[in-house]
Amino acid sequence: MARLILHNVCKQFSEQRVINNLNLSIEPGSFVALLGPSGCGKSTILRMLAGFEPVSSGEIRHGERCLSSEQQHVPTEARNFGMVFQSYALWPHMTVAENVGYPLKIKKIKGVEKEQRIKDALSVVELEDYANRLPSQLSGGQRQRVALARSLVTEPDVVLFDEPLANLDRHLRATMEATFRAFHKRTKATIVYVTHDQSEAMSLADHIAVLHKGQLVQWATPEELYNTPKNTWLANFIGRGS
Ligand code: ADP
Ligand code: MG
């Protein structure tokens, strides 16, 4: 297990600088939230971690391995990262087990090992009994759990989540938070979890990176963030401003 490091990462789209000199060092096995208002650059950071976007300058490293710099770009499929995005599209014509097992095909994992991996992944999200159903026969929350199972079936070192609960109602969000905790406990993967919802970040993460206009405002535990927000903007953002 290796540390995930962003060193002076900048991202520019034509004239617009979207991420400005970002430095983060994420301990293996930790649950980190990237928190900030809409448009602050959270998804862009996640897309660079996933390998969908190169960095404009700076470097992303996973342990000793350089994933992205001006000279180098390791493609998504060579990173062994799991991903769940807001639109967690499942294949409608495939069963739950087939959807979950799909990433194994790309990794050429077959037979007994494939069956066992699917079973394990479904047990983490408590959907062992739903393996043969189609997505249309599931509730929204169950579909989201299938997407979670699919993201962990390859046993990734790092799992990236982009606002995975944004489309769910409040009741379901609370249930899903418990699922995320169980997921983290079971997989021991490093989790980078993007959200604009401070209560979600506070309740799930062990460390939070607060971002504003492409810059890191504060890196802290939920408790530190709540007790000592670094500036007035942040105090207001987390609901502690007067
Ligand atoms: P967040 O996820 O925090 O809402 P994003 O990372 O999606 O923020 O976007 C940050 C900024 O980057 C926004 O101003 C957005 O318009 C811009 N942006 C994101 N992706 C692109 C792109 N492919 N081309 C141009 N601008 C982009
Ligand atoms: Mg976003």
By the 8 A CB rule, do 117 and 104 touch? yes
Is the pLDDT at 31 greater than 60, yes or no?
A: yes
User: Average pLDDT for residues 222-236, to the nearest whole number?
Assistant: 94
Tokens for 180, please give them.
């995320």
227 pLDDT tier (thresholds 50, 70, 90): very high
Nearest CA to ligand 1 atom 20: 44
Instruction: Tell me the per-residue pLDDT of 187-217, one tens digit each, with 9 for 90 and over.
Output: 889 999 999 999 999 999 999 999 999 999 9
Phi-psi region of 39 (alpha: psi -120 to 50; beta: other; left: phi over 0): left
pTM for this structure?
0.91
CA 175 – CA 63 distance, rounded (Å): 34
Distance 211 CA to ligand 1 centre (A): 13
Instruction: Tell me the per-residue pLDDT of 101-135, one tens digit each, with 9 for 90 and over.
Output: 999 998 889 999 999 999 999 998 889 999 999 99
Q: What is the pLDDT of residue 1?
A: 82
Residue 52 CB less than 6 A away from ligand 1: no
Ligand 1 mutation pick, 17, 44, 160, 163, max ligand atoms within 8 A of CB: 44
Tokens for 80, please give them.
């062994």
The secondary element (H helix, E strand) that includes residue 93 is none
Ligand 1 mutation pick, 35, 38, 43, 48, max ligand atoms within 8 A of CB: 43
By the 8 A CB rule, do 50 and 70 touch? no
User: Average pLDDT for residues 47-72, to the nearest whole number?
Assistant: 96
Give the ipTM of the model, two decimals please.
0.98
Q: What is the pLDDT of residue 83?
A: 86
Atom in ligand 1 nearest the alpha carbon of residue 41: 6
Q: What is the pLDDT of residue 55?
A: 98
Ion ligand 2 residue ranges (Cβ < 5 Å)? 43
Ligand number with the minimum distance to the CA of 12: 1
Ligand number with the minimum distance to the CA of 19: 1
Alpha-carbon torsion, ordered 216, 217, 221, 222, to 10 deg: -120
182 pLDDT tier (thresholds 50, 70, 90): confident
Distance 33 CA to ligand 2 centre (A): 13
